[in-house]
Amino acid sequence: MKILFITYIFPPFNAIGSVRTGKTAKFLVESGHDVKVISCAKQSLSKNLSLEISEQSVQYTDWINVNSPVEFILGGKKKVASKGYYPIVKNLPGWIFRLGCLYRSILNFPDGQIGWFPFAKRSGDRLIQQWKPDLIFSSAVPYTSLLIASTLSRKHKIPWIAELRDLWIDNHYRIHPVWRRKLEERLERFTLSTAIGLVTVSDPLNHLLKSKYPIPCATITNGFDPEDYPETTKISFSNGKIHLTYTGQLYSLKRDPTPLFIALNKMGADAEKVRVHFYGRYLDFAYEYARKYNVDHLVEIHEPVSHSEALNIQTKADVLLLFPGYDVEDQGIFTGKIFEYLGARRPILCIGNTEGVAANLISERKAGISLNEPEKIALQLQYWIKEKNKNGEIPFLSSEVGKGFTRKEQTQKLMKFFETCLNNSVST
């Protein structure tokens, strides 16, 4: 099958979304499919993720950053990125900030990557005329990638399937004025109604999409690639401490490590046997929170690392930290790293929502424990301290813990879904 894969984010750019799209392309190709990718160049991300398909199979197009004027006014791209899409800048006059937000509401429609649309569409037009794919597959976010796929599908009469790693209009983190939301509702409905199938990352999100659109919908979770991990060896830190590790980005209002710091504060002398490591961007606030509870000397903030380095670090940790968030709306969302944690086979301490899909998976797979009460977190840490002092290590999890969640297994499910959707579209 010839598959045109449209995704804004793709290796070598290092992000969790790139890992998913890159691995999907890898295993589609390994299964014998002819895959061509249209992606975006000139992104402000590290370029250290392995490209596991032929370079000739990927077209990186240009794009226009529609937010450049606002980023300049608000203090630069880095400052805006660290604070999110709608940063609160206290030292600006109110009217300037409101004007900036209005600009972003209008120009970022449906998202800040809309400036990629004309370049990707033009590249897609040329590729389709030369190569004639059987299927277009598009992965969002950003949702602009779905607009591109829908446009190409309608123009060239090629069926397409939409992947929503995050929901679009039902995403509670996307806060817009009423007029903007109504326009996006219409745009989402029109765009997704042209697809022959939908893909998302968890069953709760799947059920929501099925309630809105009468087309097939598949749950294809994130996963891990066993080939990416170094050979596991016994963990033996000479300092006799237990090392807790988190890799990735945190959000001060969404993924909160505070209960961990309170727990350490309550542990007294035992806390000195714990070290907490954070690897990633925009983590300074975590150190500030730790200082508030007088445990900052137990916390180490490290620079972001490559994906391969992150996996190596995970396998060497005693315990891996996960912060799924506390919002009810987050219960149906897996964090991408939970599956890589399963691949690392180290016990997981999940701090946050204990009722969501992430917590349920950890419980079902006996991969760790989910807690949000500092007292219980402290007791669990003390248990691990005793276990390591007694046995010299905290044992690896069973090799079966990640069964069914390898990237290859999930891509095989995706391929079956492609075939089902294409057969359905032909019969109708």
φ, ψ of residue 414 to 5 degrees: the values are -65, -45
Q: Does residue 336 lie within any of the structural domains?
A: yes
The first and second tokens of residue 23, run together, are: 């691995």
The first and second tokens of residue 367, run together, are: 């991969």
Q: Determine the Cα–Cα distance for residues 288 and 295; give it in Å rounded to an integer.
A: 10
Judged by average pLDDT, the poorest of 56-65, 84-93, 186-195, 326-335 is 84-93
Q: Does residue 307 lie within any of the structural domains?
A: yes
Same domain, 254 and 384: yes
pLDDT grade for 185, boundaries at 50, 70 and 90: very high
Mean per-residue pLDDT for 251-261? 78
pLDDT at 333: 76
Mean per-residue pLDDT for 202-211? 94
Contact indicator for 415, 31 with CB cutoff of 8 Å: yes
Mean per-residue pLDDT for 247-251? 79
Q: Does residue 124 lie within any of the structural domains?
A: yes
pLDDT at 102: 72
Q: Determine the Cα–Cα distance for residues 113 and 109; give it in Å rounded to an integer.
A: 9
Decide which of 42 and 83 is more confident: 42
Mean per-residue pLDDT for 129-147? 96
Same domain, 241 and 305: yes
Contact indicator for 273, 242 with CB cutoff of 8 Å: yes
pTM, 2 dp: 0.88
Mean per-residue pLDDT for 115-133? 96
Mean per-residue pLDDT for 115-138? 97
What mean pLDDT, rounded, does the chain reach? 88
pLDDT at 88: 44
pLDDT grade for 212, boundaries at 50, 70 and 90: very high
Same domain, 156 and 266: no
pLDDT at 251: 65
pLDDT in tens, 311-328: 999 999 999 999 886 666
pLDDT in tens, 28-59: 999 999 999 999 997 778 898 999 999 999 99
pLDDT in tens, 341-385: 999 999 999 998 788 898 999 999 999 999 999 999 999 999 999
> Domain limits at 336?
226-391
Same domain, 233 and 369: yes
Q: Classify residue 288 by burial, with Cβ atoms within 10 Å: 0-12, 13-18, 19+.
A: exposed
pLDDT at 230: 78
pLDDT in tens, 366-377: 999 999 999 999
pLDDT at 45: 81
Taking 90 as the threshold, does the pLDDT of residue 154 lie above it? Answer: yes
Same domain, 316 and 416: no
* Tally of domains in the chain: 2
Q: Does residue 95 lie within any of the structural domains?
A: no
Q: Does residue 344 lie within any of the structural domains?
A: yes
Q: Does residue 100 lie within any of the structural domains?
A: no
Taking 80 as the threshold, does the pLDDT of residue 100 lie above it? Answer: no
Q: Determine the Cα–Cα distance for residues 228 and 225; give it in Å rounded to an integer.
A: 6
Same domain, 172 and 266: no
Taking 60 as the threshold, does the pLDDT of residue 280 lie above it? Answer: yes
pLDDT at 73: 60
pLDDT at 239: 65
Same domain, 278 and 146: no
pLDDT in tens, 55-78: 999 999 999 888 776 666 655 555
Same domain, 318 and 385: yes
Strand pairing category for 217-219 and 197-200: parallel
Same domain, 380 and 411: no
Mean per-residue pLDDT for 401-424? 96
Q: Does residue 89 lie within any of the structural domains?
A: no
Judged by average pLDDT, the poorest of 85-99, 154-168, 194-208, 313-327 is 85-99
Contact indicator for 116, 124 with CB cutoff of 8 Å: no
Mean per-residue pLDDT for 114-131? 96
Same domain, 178 and 309: no
pLDDT at 24: 98
Q: Does residue 73 lie within any of the structural domains?
A: no
CATH number at residue 197: 3.40.50.2000
Half-sphere exposure of 82 (CA within 13 A, CB side): 13
Same domain, 230 and 350: yes
Same domain, 149 and 168: yes
Could you tell me what percent of the chain has a pLDDT over 90?
Answer: 66
Taking 90 as the threshold, does the pLDDT of residue 427 lie above it? Answer: no
Cis peptide before 216 (omega within 30 of 0): no
Contact indicator for 146, 192 with CB cutoff of 8 Å: yes
pLDDT grade for 398, boundaries at 50, 70 and 90: very high
